[in-house]
Structure 1
Amino acid sequence: MTQRPPAELDGAEVFSFAPVGAAQKPTGGTVHSVSDFPDVVRGLALARYSGEKTVYLFYCDEESNVVSDTAHSSVEEAIDQARFEFEGLEFEPLP
């Protein structure tokens, strides 16, 4: 997912994303149940399901498949979690 993700992932509307590459080093701050998590994740997406306030942080592979996710009460909380897990992240809004 070094490119922009689709406008929808797992039925949720994506509104922002951050690519994950060599410059975004994993901190090891959180353990996910995905094997080789730091090697698999190539992008993070912020999304909401229609009618919900919860913000989902989707961890995506190269093909924009969601491999893991976390749920948050605000955009700021989701971004804080992402930055806790990866250094050097910069989120970009989707048009």
Structure 2
Amino acid sequence: MTPPPHIDGARILAWAWSDLPFGHVTNEHGGAPAAIHGLAVCRYADEARVYRFSCDAQWETVQDDVYASEDDAREQLPAQYRAVTATWNLA
């Protein structure tokens, strides 16, 4: 599933999608774990750093993390997102 051009106001630079979840994230309120189907490396217009957004099946952000470079954001996936290999697409 192709993502929108922006997530949470940040422009997508690269993205990966899987019909099977990359992994799951539990929320801070102790709710049921959310399946992560989309990964997006994004940049806000006024920032040099990039963010990796972990998204549900509707490209809604479940979790994010900040990185110094696009390569770091793509390569440093946490263990919980390795159930399926991420194939990155450039936006």
Distance change in 2, residues 1:48/1:80 (3 Å): same
- What is aligned with 1:51? 46
TM-score by structure 2 length? 0.79
- What is aligned with 2:18? 20
* Runs of 4+ deviating beyond 4 Å: none
TM-score by structure 1 length? 0.76
Distance change in 2, residues 1:62/1:80 (3 Å): same
Bigger share in strand: 2
CA contact (8 A) 2:22 2:36 kept: no
CA RMSD of aligned residues (A): 2.1
- What is aligned with 1:75? 70
Gaps of 5+ in 2: none
Give the share of equivalent positions with the same residue, in percent.
Answer: 26
Higher mean C-alpha displacement, 58-67 vs 77-86: 77-86
Matched length: 85
Gaps of 5+ in 1: none
